[in-house]
Amino acid sequence: MVKILVTDKIHEDGAKLLKGFAEVSVATGLTSAELLERIKGYDVLVVRSATKVTKEVIDAGKQLRVIARAGAGLDNIDVKAAEARGIKVVNAPEAPTVAVAELVFAHMLSFARHMLRADASMKRGEWEKEQLIGTELRGKTLGIVGTGRIGRAVGYKAKAFLMNLLLYDVVQNREFAKQTEAKYVELDTLLRESDYVTLHVPLLPETEHMIGARELGLMKPTAVLINTSRGEVVDEMALAEALQAKKIAGACLDVYEREPPQESPLLKLPNVVLTPHLGASTVESQRDAAVIIAKKIKEALV
């Protein structure tokens, strides 16, 4: 029987599907050394984001046939090392689409309506109604950098808020642009003209620090940057400097160059909304990821 090792917690519905066609062992919180020893004898390794599947781990897994990521990104897996061994790598990029798109709007609305400050002041017994006049999303321009699944989901929701859309991607989805009355433009144009800029790109050599001091300098002083993709896409020091100098109005971040972002100057700034990488952290998204990946593993083993 196929032997599967699960090293990060997955939804029980996915685990049940795996147990229907394989012998499943669950061992979360393993150290690198423990994983190197444990992986021997398993055909499939299932991870989320915590486990780092290095070349050493792949080499130690002599029987590995499939490495599965119950989620979207593959940056914690040495895909090239796996491919060199003929090991299939599968993931579930479909699963977090709705969760991440909704989080983008949670961030935007929190910033636009001063939700965090309002909550904190109310709990201090204060009534800051006049000091907390916000702004509407209606009529604002949202710049979407990356129009894959999540970027498009954000765009469709933005139209319901009566926002205008500017798009940037190396691969343009003309049908999406037509459906949302959006326009593809150069990145510099998007940055100059958007009231909100939301990032939805994978972490690649060409996207690392794609938003730095120069790009932030192009944005409106009233603009807000939102990042729910990968922390390394933004130069955090440049962002902190832009926020401190009020070159942009604010930032809403769910991902960071270092997680958790200990001692980051962003933690002390009043014009930021921060969440601890919650993008895919919904019950529905976690279930979808586990179920989708279980089905893909079964298909990959055929």
Tell me how far CA of residue 148 lies from CA of 53, 62, 179, 283, 288, in angstroms.
25, 35, 15, 23, 18
Q: Which sequence positions are flagged as catalytic?
A: 230, 259, 277
- 181-186, Cβ contacts within 8 angstroms, sequence gap of 24 or more: 182/144, 182/155
Instruction: State the Cα–Cα distance between residues 279 and 71, nearest whole angstrom.
Output: 11
Burial class (CB in 10 A: 0-12, 13-18, 19+), 192: middle
Structural tokens at position 281: 């952290």
Name the one residue in this structure whose structure tokens are 């798009």: 167
Instruction: State the Cα–Cα distance between residues 243 and 273, nearest whole angstrom.
Output: 12
Instruction: State the Cα–Cα distance between residues 28 and 9, nearest whole angstrom.
Output: 7
Neighbouring residues of 193: CB distance < 8 A, sequence distance ≥ 6: 141, 143, 166, 185
Q: Phi first, then psi: what are they for 28, rounded to 5°?
A: -90, 160
Instruction: State the Cα–Cα distance between residues 211 and 227, nearest whole angstrom.
Output: 10
